[in-house]
Structure 1
Amino acid sequence: MSQPTEQSPERPSGRAVPTSADVARLAGVSRATVSYVLNNTSAVRISEPTRQRVREAAEELGYVPHAAARSLRAGHSRMVLLPTPHVPVGPLYSQFFNDFQWALRRLDYTVVQYGSVGLQAEEAARAWAELRPVAVVSLGEVELTGQGVEILKRSGARAVITLGTQRVEGTHAFVMDQGRVGEVATEHLLETGRRRIGVIVPEEPGLAMFSGPRLDGARRAAEAAGATVVPLPLRYEEESADALAARWRELGLDGVFAYNDEYAMLLMRSLQDAGISVPEETAVIGADDLLLGRLLRPRLSTVRIDMVVGRELAELVDRAVREPDAPPVSRDLLDSRVVRRESS
């Protein structure tokens, strides 16, 4: 039995892995044409019938381009690394990242999610750098440092983009002002005459990066008005919400900012079950403006948050990859405004 070669390695089953040369022979074209078609090269004009023959030949043979070879030709990979969120980010953020990933795919990037639970700073940067991504987009759960950014760039990353609560040197930074979310929610409750306001602080791991600044923002607004804010730890469980509702009148609260719409809906149901009327006894406001909140009775007041559009962020990644020496972009996100409904 002959030994497999680099040009035609063998599969574990013994069948040879198809190569671009095999596709070229079957389609009746050159290997260069196969490369142009399957790598979506726009610089060379190739007729649509030829493109179709190449695609059909590749599909028949089960051939896919080799990512490493493609990276060598381009001088960089097309991989965008997204550290996987290890916190329950909610529907608003999930939709954003779905849109972002689809937009990257349309720009011909390969999106790879990386489980980064337990990794810290430079340790995370080194782990990401091992995959040689052309760009890294971090949610801010790992506190990237300037040194970590330098590690990524030395490994070939042309762009490092952060979405977090602070700017990081050397990155394109989208800063999310979480404090403003709590501030506008509390200002709204104060405007409705509430003076002793509860603020839900989720007990789920990893949410402190959001809930801490939102609590601080609520405190700023209350302090300016001479009102009181009471932090309320809560697990995203019916039992936890019921236990909190059972001592609600003891706490003497007349309003609550419930962190987001999901926690608001959980708490509001428990309050109603405990005989506490909303909004007469307690006004309730969430955040994220989820559709489900509008279907409740009373309809849920909320803070609508305007995030960066996924397509816009994908286009920034593409520009940064093509122009790695361009000055970093820095923008503030989360323009927050109250949508008042019946719950407050």
Structure 2
Amino acid sequence: MPPTSTSVARYAGVSRATVSYVLNGLAAGRVSPATQEKVREAAEELGYVPHAAARSLRSGSSGLVLIAVPADVVPAFGPLFTGFIAAFQAELQAYGHTGVLHGASAGDTPQAAVRAWAELRPAAVIAMIGAPLDEASVEILKRSGTFAVVSYGPPPAPGAHGIAMDQEEVGAVAAAHLLAGGRRDIGVVVPVEHGLGLFSQPRLKGVRAVAATCPGARVVPVELAYTEESAAELADRWRDLGLDAVFAYNDEYAMLLMRALQDAGVDVPGDVAVVGADDLLLGRLLRPTLTSVRIELPPPAEVAALVDRLIREPETPPAVHRRSTAHIEVRESSRRPAG
């Protein structure tokens, strides 16, 4: 049998209450430093680890921050968002919280999904883009003891806090750059992968909004799967589309398409200007180097601080926090050749 708090109390010669105070961070002013050290040494020697489920029953919360990300969408998020999640988890540890990823099935209703989350008794839930969340599901979480519900990306459901990301701005910045360079026939990559419509459709809308202010400008959505075969097929019919520019959704799709265009004999940037988004390092190592929309996301430390504050102050009125901004990093892939 694994050691219990009773085992630790007996080994250290103290009460179970004292063990609970020490190992749950509640010993200040109650237990002397010498006794605290004795309890910690006993727990370490016996190999005792507090039982999260039991602690959850006592406190009503597990101390977990559940990061809800649809499992089938994670591979398509790209390095920008996977890097954010990793850094966010690290920042949460500084506040004594444990960030855990939880996949939400694409077929789940919001209520079904959050009931699975609520079983873990998370202190907070941050629903990333694509995770189901509505007013009823927010209420389920709060009634089960979740202190903070935060929606990251789209507008939050009623009752939840929101960290808004303006995806239309990303498309608008890319379009403004291409139009300023004299391009008038702009393709916009729309990935076919599940879940990315929450990104791609607002970005397409942003391109269209800017193009509408430029006489003679044309915007053509072009579907693309994240495969070499799909990119090659699109590149083979590129000339028939009559497009002299493309905003390729993000850097990964841009790099995939740019290579396929080059293989098909389409010159970049002579025949077509290419713009991505996320400003990944790899895009700067290509030839030609990749023009990209750089997106300034809220720093992970700032989001972790917000979540911690909402856990400690659960009565804080829901609000939308807007921090993302976008600007263009101009490189060779969108510059017209001299002469």
What TM-score results when the alignment is normalised by the length of structure 1? Answer: 0.89
Query: Match for residue 321 of structure 1?
Result: 311
Residue 264, structure 1, aligned to residue 254, structure 2: yes
d(CA) in 2 for partners of 1:220, 1:127: 40
Q: CA deviation at 1:327?
A: 1.6
One-letter identity of the residue aligned with 1:95: G
Q: What is the aligned counterpart of 1:185 among 169, 174, 181?
A: 174
Q: Which residue does the alignment assign to 2:7?
A: 22
Distance 2:188 2:67 in 1: 31
**In 2: Cα distance, 1:150 partner to 1:24 partner:** 40
SS of 2:65's equivalent in the other structure is strand
Contact 2:172 2:210 in 1 (8 A): yes
Matched, 1:125 2:114: yes
- Residues 72-113 of structure 1 show CA distances to partners (whole Å, capped at 9, x for unaligned) of 443433122222333111100001111111111221123332
CA distance in 2, matches of 1:49, 1:276: 74
Aligned pairs for 1:126-165 within 5 A: 126-165=115-154
Gaps of 5+ in 1: 1-15
Q: Deviations over 1:187-215 (max 9, x none)?
A: 11001100001111111111111111111
8 Å Cα contact 2:69-2:130 kept in structure 1: no
CA contact (8 A) 1:36 1:44 kept: no
Once residues 46 and 124 of structure 2 are traced to their aligned partners in structure 1, the CA distance between those partners, rounded to angstroms, is 32
Which one of 66, 91, 94 corresponds to residue 81 of structure 1?
A: 66
Query: Does residue 156 of structure 2 align to residue 167 of structure 1?
Result: yes
**Letter of the 2:251 counterpart:** D
Q: Pairwise mapping of residues 192-203 of structure 1 onto structure 2 (< 5 A)?
A: 192-203=181-192
Q: Provide the C-alpha distance between the structure 2 equivalents of 1:302 and 1:42, rounded to a whole number of angstroms.
A: 52
- Aligned ranges 1:62-73 → 2 under 5 Å: 62-73=47-58
For structure 1, which segment, 314-323 or 329-338, has the greater mean C-alpha deviation from structure 2 after superposition?
A: 329-338
Measured against aligned partners, the alpha-carbon deviations of 1:281-328 in whole angstroms (never above 9, x if no partner) come to: 111110001011111111111001011111111111111111111122
Report the Cα distance in structure 1 between the residues aligned to 2:148 and 2:180, rounded to whole angstroms.
44
Shift of 1:55: 3.7
**1:36 maps to 2:21:** yes
Match status 1:237 vs 2:227: yes
Amino acid at match of 2:24: N
Please state if 1:90 is matched with 2:78.
yes
Distance 1:224 1:43 in 2: 64
Give the Cα separation in 2 of the matches to 1:308 and 1:276.
Answer: 38
- Where 1:224 maps in the other structure, the secondary structure is coil
Mapped partners of 1:217, 1:43: distance in 2: 54
Aligned length: 329
Superposed CA RMSD: 2.0
- Give me the identity figure in percent: 57
What is the DSSP-based 3-state SS (H/G/I as helix, E as strand, rest coil) of the residue aligned with 1:119? coil
What SS is found at the alignment partner of 1:137? strand
Determine helix, strand or coil for the equivalent of 2:146. coil
- Corresponding residue of 2:206: 217
Counterpart secondary structure, 2:44:
helix
Query: One-letter code of the match for 2:317?
Result: P
- The 8 Å contact of residues 69 and 129 in structure 2, kept in 1 or not, is answered as no
| Aligned counterpart, 2:285 | 295
Q: TM-score, normalised by structure 2?
A: 0.90
One-letter code aligned to 1:124: A
d(CA) in 1 for partners of 2:85 and 2:13? 41
1:336 matched residue in structure 2: 326
DSSP-derived class of the 1:82 partner = strand
1:93 is paired with a residue of what secondary structure? helix
- Which residue of structure 2 aligns with residue 6 of structure 1? none
- Structure 1 residue 47: deviation in Å? 7.2
- Distance in 2 between the 1:126 and 1:30 partners? 37
**Alpha-carbon distance, 1:44 to partner:** 4.0
Match of 1:108 in 2: 96
**1:22 offset after TM fit, Å?**
1.9
Structure 2 counterpart of 1:325, one-letter code = E
Give runs of aligned pairs for residues 276-315 of structure 1, distance below 5 A: 276-315=266-305
Q: 2:27, 2:220 → 1: CA distance?
A: 59
- 1-structure distance, mates of 2:77, 2:134: 23
Q: Counterparts of 1:179 and 1:152 in 2: how far apart (Å)?
A: 30
Instruction: Name the CA distance, whole Å, in 1 between partners of 2:147 and 2:288.
Output: 50
Distance 1:285 1:76, change over 3 A: same
CA-CA distance at 1:53 after TM superposition: 4.7
Q: 1-side partners of 2:321 and 2:27: how far apart?
A: 32
